[in-house]
Amino acid sequence: MKNIYFLIVFGFLLLSCSQNDADQVYINGIVYTVDEANPKAEAVAVKDGLILAVGTTKEIQSYVGNKTEVIDLQGKTMTPGFIESHAHLMGIGYNKLEIDLMYVQTYDELIEKVAEAAAKAKPGEWITGRGWHQDKWIKMPDNTVKGFQTHDQLSAVTPDNPVFLAHASGHASFVNQKAMELAGITQLGSENPKQEIEGGEVLRDELGNPTGVLVETASGLVRKLIPADTPERREKALELALLELAEKGITSFHDAGSGQDVIDLVEQFKNEGKLTSRMYIMLSSRQPDLLQEWYKKGPKIDPDHMVTVRSIKLNMDGALGPWGAWLLEEYEDKPGHTGHETMPISLVSEVSEKGLELGFQVCSHAIGDRTNREVLDRYEAAFAKFPNITDHRFRIEHAQHLHPDDISRFGEMGVIAAIQAIHLSSDRPWAIGRLGAKRIKDGAYVWQKLLQSGAVISNGTDAPVEPLDPIPSFYASVTRKTLKMTPEGGYEPDQKMTREQALKSYTLDGAYSEFEENFKGSIEVGKAADFTVFDRNIMEVPENDILNTKVAMTVVGGKLVYKAK
């Protein structure tokens, strides 16, 4: 009888021990938890993809069982998994399949890259690329119109192939003569009077000749002619994008405007076990029929926390580079021009009311101070119409240039500012020419003012507008310098984030901006085991050493999706 009793007790002990055993433990690290109650630790235990315990290495070793995988961090820094809160999933992948113009420094270099592609292309085959930005070139070509290059050299090296090159911002494009012929874009004259493109512009010289630069919606005149992708190429693009996310430590990704085709493809990858990052997909308002379909069925909130669709992206103005951001006052370097809305501003009211009624979050692209004010006004009116819905978490994507009177409204109204700190590094040196010193000082990239208003800030890169790597964006957040580490002290240094604020903007506040702060975003017991591990301590190294940091490991739901060689 005693033997039976002993066996029963021993069995219960074994069972309780095995239930307490972790699947993985991470030890000997510097763990920044983003948990105010327990901000720093050394080790973490994981079971079934969730965090089982957080503590010292000694404490966590008690969770080691016969089948536990022990990962020695060897002093590396672990944070909650980084959340990219505004980027373009397929664009990241296609950037690797097309001509990458992000790093070209002159127009001549752009021409060289296109000429190389043309030499390999068949006659009539489209040549596409993305990433050029005339304000970042170290030298402009001799022949310019309205601040942009002209197509003459481009057309000369591509006589047999139509070319479409998207601007880094995505708000303009550069095309050759062949592409314009196919689109019917010709010289203005008696047979072809001035053409107005609603929400966009075909740039022309003083004789009415098209220069090859198409701004905002005018890009659609050519883009619509590019042949549709094959399923194989689309899958390849997604594979490359996911690989990039894993390598850069991104465990969750907010896709800033896609259609049903992307949603279906991401779902397919999830079902096939190939999805290595959690997806939060915004429905593109550029597809009205898509919105109507989703209004009928309502949000899709994934119980597996892998593919959620519960937000709508509105594209309400252009970018500052092509003078497309909608301003309250004229551009400093383009008198009489204030930019423009790219969709009827009434759409914000319409979609906001529908969103509140049906449970969709609304995320409005707004760069210029007028667009931000117009969007806030319409959000405010919609909130007043649905006073019982208080947890809406509506967002403004970019929130880049604000009138001082509108800054406090973010916190007062509970509107999230989805910023991309890296834009300051890239744009601030020339943005002052667009806006002037006063507007820059009072309302450009005003992160501390937004935080002091009580607003939540989520961070990101807008990739492929900028590189996906969060380290440069983190660096910009805390230094307000360019990636060449200038100027000394940073631009408008009173608006720097602390490192704690910057880390939170990339983790817990990113999770909050997709209604997931109770599931991820901090290293706490019961939350998702999503981790980013860095090879140096981004919270303590000298600020100019931050840029030398690399991702050592990326973990999603307890699964290792990337490890540096």
Rounded to whole angstroms, how far apart are CA atoms 492 and 481? Answer: 10
Instruction: Give the model's confidence band at 195: pLDDT under 50 very low, under 70 low, under 90 confident, else very high.
Output: low
Q: In the prediction, which pLDDT does 9 show?
A: 45
- Write the burial class of residue 441 (CB in 10 Å: 0-12 exposed, 13-18 middle, 19+ buried): middle
Return the minimum-mean-pLDDT range out of 70-79, 101-110, 360-369.
Answer: 101-110
Contacts for 452 with CB less than 8 Å, ≥ 6 apart: 411
Cα dihedral value 83, 84, 86, 88, nearest 10: -130
| CB contact set of 315 (below 8 Å; sequence gap of 6+) | 257, 285, 286, 342, 343, 365
Using 50, 70 and 90 to split pLDDT, how confident is the model at 147? confident
- Residue for token pair 């039976």: 4
Amino acid letter, residue 454: G
**Which residues, listed in sequence order, are joined to residue 40 by a DSSP beta bridge?**
32
Is residue 316 within 8 A of residue 366, CB to CB? The reply is: yes
**Lowest mean pLDDT: which of 9-18, 101-110, 555-564?**
9-18
Helices (H), 64-198: 89-97, 107-120, 152-157, 177-183
In whole angstroms, what is the distance from residue 431 CA to residue 106 CA? Answer: 19
Q: How confident is the model at residue 170 (pLDDT cuts 50, 70, 90)?
A: confident
pLDDT band at 102 (very low <50, low <70, confident <90, very high): confident
Point out which residues pair with 341 in neighbouring strands: 317
- For residue range 225-248, what is the model confidence (pLDDT) as tens digits? 999 889 999 999 999 999 999 999
Q: 112 Cβ partners below 8 Å, 6+ apart?
A: none
Helix (H, G, I), strand (E, B), or coil: what is residue 80?
strand
pLDDT of residue 41: 98
Q: Is residue 87 within 8 Å of residue 259, measured between CB atoms?
A: no
Report DSSP letters for 189-257, one per residue. Answer: SSSSPPPPBTTEEEEE-TTS-EEEEEEEGGGHHHHTTSPPPPHHHHHHHHHHHHHHHHHTTEEEEEEEE
* pLDDT at site 13: 44
| Residue 83 dihedral angles phi and psi, to the nearest 5° | -115, 115
Q: Does 322 or 278 have the greater pLDDT score?
A: 278
